[in-house]
Structure 1
């Protein structure tokens, strides 16, 4: 329901103008209702229908219909008077840079005052401007009305559907250009990805370090036990190593010592690798990997397989973007 904020209305320094806005809003609603009714009454079938069922109404309104222009001009005279007063006030208050800017900015007020045909319905723009002005000054809040929520919901749904189709069409065009080997592929590779190698290295280094810290450090003991167990099983299945147990006296001891040593070495190597990845020392390693995928312009990959791999990567990225674009947010708001 539309409510009037009386506190903001009383505390406003433009109370007189807001009162005029409310008066003009009421006159505009009456005038537009009058115009719509007269347009309906203009049909002979409607006149005959009223003559048959409501003759008193027909006989009372018919003289008004014949002098419709005169009555409409009375409304127009009030609208023009209000327009001139506001224009004079804008000149006095220096609201605009030039005195003649007001009629150009508020052109719909003037055009709507022309009492000819469909131009009269442009007065609805004046209604919208008044409501918007009152809403802007927080005198009324039409966003809390059911009508606004209904219209706004379907407007957002329409705009989302329209924009999604446009974006999908553009992305599909980009994919087609990349498949054909257009200059777009070289621009993505040399002008977009290559200059940002350092940024990509920093980002990947940070992500790898975070993944190693969160995934490895809390499970260090379990991972070490798993590695030692797997190495122990692998060594027991090794035929050459199993022959050591046949050595007299020291054979079983050498076999156990070797198994423990290999397991410990593997666990320590993996531990050190993951520790390095979890620290900032992984940056040089990640940077080398990025440089392999994004070499200098003079050493760009010329192998078809390498180009094809990069093309597939770009296409998959675009596919992921298209899949996200296809998500209908407005449907999530449906009850």
Structure 2
């Protein structure tokens, strides 16, 4: 159901024009209904059917049908008069930069007024423009109507189906180009990534340091205890180390000392690694990793197997994207 916001209508500075819009909207609906009915009546079969079952109605309307152009011109004269008044107001208010811009911008109002055949049905464009203008000024809200929701749902479904097919077609083309040795991958690697190796190394270094600081420092004690427990369990399961306890007198002592020493060494090594990653000293390490993934362009000619693996990776990633594109979101909103 379409509701009119009376408060916005009363508080609007264009109340008179909005009232004219409502009047024109009513006249347009009446006129379009009249046009549709007269078009249906134009069929001889319909005239014969009315003559047989409702002769009074047929006899009353037939003279109107013969003079339809005259009655339609009455509506046209009203619409043209309203158009001229709005044109004059736009000139006076200086809405457009030139006085003759109005008829070009509102061309649909003029074309719909041509009383010839199918051009009459273009008056529906004026109905749409009036409804849109009223909606834009929050006088009415047609988005809450069932008709709009119905049309919007199937429009979104159609656009999703269409866009999905286009995207899948494009991605399939990308896969074919990558498989055939398209220079796209080489251009991305050499022209975009390689010149920015230093920037990538700096960014990754900062991200690694931030992740190490936020993830390790608050949980340092718990991680150390966990690592020591894991090392102790591993050492207890070691057959060679378990034989030390059979040594007379010093066997158990040596076993405990080794377990504690190994656990402490592992925990300290991991602690030092994470401390280094959480500081600026990780930059050289990250830079080496970046150089491995983005080697000098001259060395890439000798790494065909690596490129083949990377191409296969890209193809599989695109396959995953295509599978996600195939998901029909609009079906989730079906009742």
What TM-score do the two structures reach when normalised by structure 1?
Answer: 0.89
| Structure-1 separation of matches of 2:306 and 2:57 | 85
- Residues 144-153 or 237-246, more deviating: 237-246
Contact kept? 1:301, 1:307, Cα under 8 Å: no
- Specify the SS of the correspondent of 1:115: coil
> What RMSD over aligned residues (CA atoms) do the two structures have, in Å?
2.6
Deviations 1:288-328 (A, max 9, x none): 21221012334446311111222133223323332332333
Q: Which residue of 2 aligns with 1:109?
A: 109
The SS at the match of 1:181 is coil
Identify the residue that residue 54 of structure 2 maps to in structure 1. 54
In structure 2, distance between residues paired with 1:138 and 1:236? 77
In structure 2, what is the equivalent of residue 122 of structure 1? 122
2:160 matched to which residue of 1?
160
Separation in structure 2 between the aligned mates of residue 246 and residue 133 of structure 1, nearest angstrom: 95
Q: Is the 8 A contact 1:96 1:102 kept in 2?
A: yes
> Gapped runs of 5+ residues in structure 1?
none
Match of 2:9 in 1: 9
Contact 1:232 1:263 in 2 (8 A): yes
Cα shift readout 1:250-307 (whole Å, capped 9, x = no counterpart): 4543343223212211122123223433555444322321221012334446311111
Larger displacement relative to structure 2 (248-257 or 20-29): 248-257
Bigger Cα displacement from structure 2, 88-97 vs 294-303: 294-303
Give the 4+ runs in structure 1 shifted more than 6 A: none
Partner of 1:311: 311
Residue in 2 that maps onto 1:80: 80
* Change in 2 beyond 3 A, CA 1:244/1:16: closer
The match for 1:260 is 260
Determine the structure 2 residue equivalent to 1:36. Answer: 36
Partner of 2:187: 187
Q: Distance in 1 between matches of 2:252 and 2:26?
A: 105
Distance 1:288 1:238 in 2: 36
Question: Equivalents in 2 of 1:200, 1:313: separation in Å?
Answer: 21
Contact kept in structure 2, 1:112 and 1:122, CA below 8 Å: yes
Equivalents in 2 of 1:224, 1:176: separation in Å? 50
The aligned length equals: 335
Task: Please list every run of 5 or more consecutive structure 2 residues that lacks an aligned counterpart in the other structure.
Answer: none
CA contact (8 A) 1:28 1:123 kept: yes
Distance change (3 Å), C-alpha of 1:272 and 1:65: same
Normalised by the size of structure 2, how large is the TM-score?
0.89
> Structure 1 residues 76-85 or 245-254, which shifts more?
245-254
Contact 1:18-1:134 at 8 Å conserved across structures: yes
Deviation at 1:123, TM superposition (A): 0.4
Relative to structure 1, the CA distance from residue 219 to residue 72 in structure 2 (aligned partners, 3 Å threshold; closer, same or farther) is same
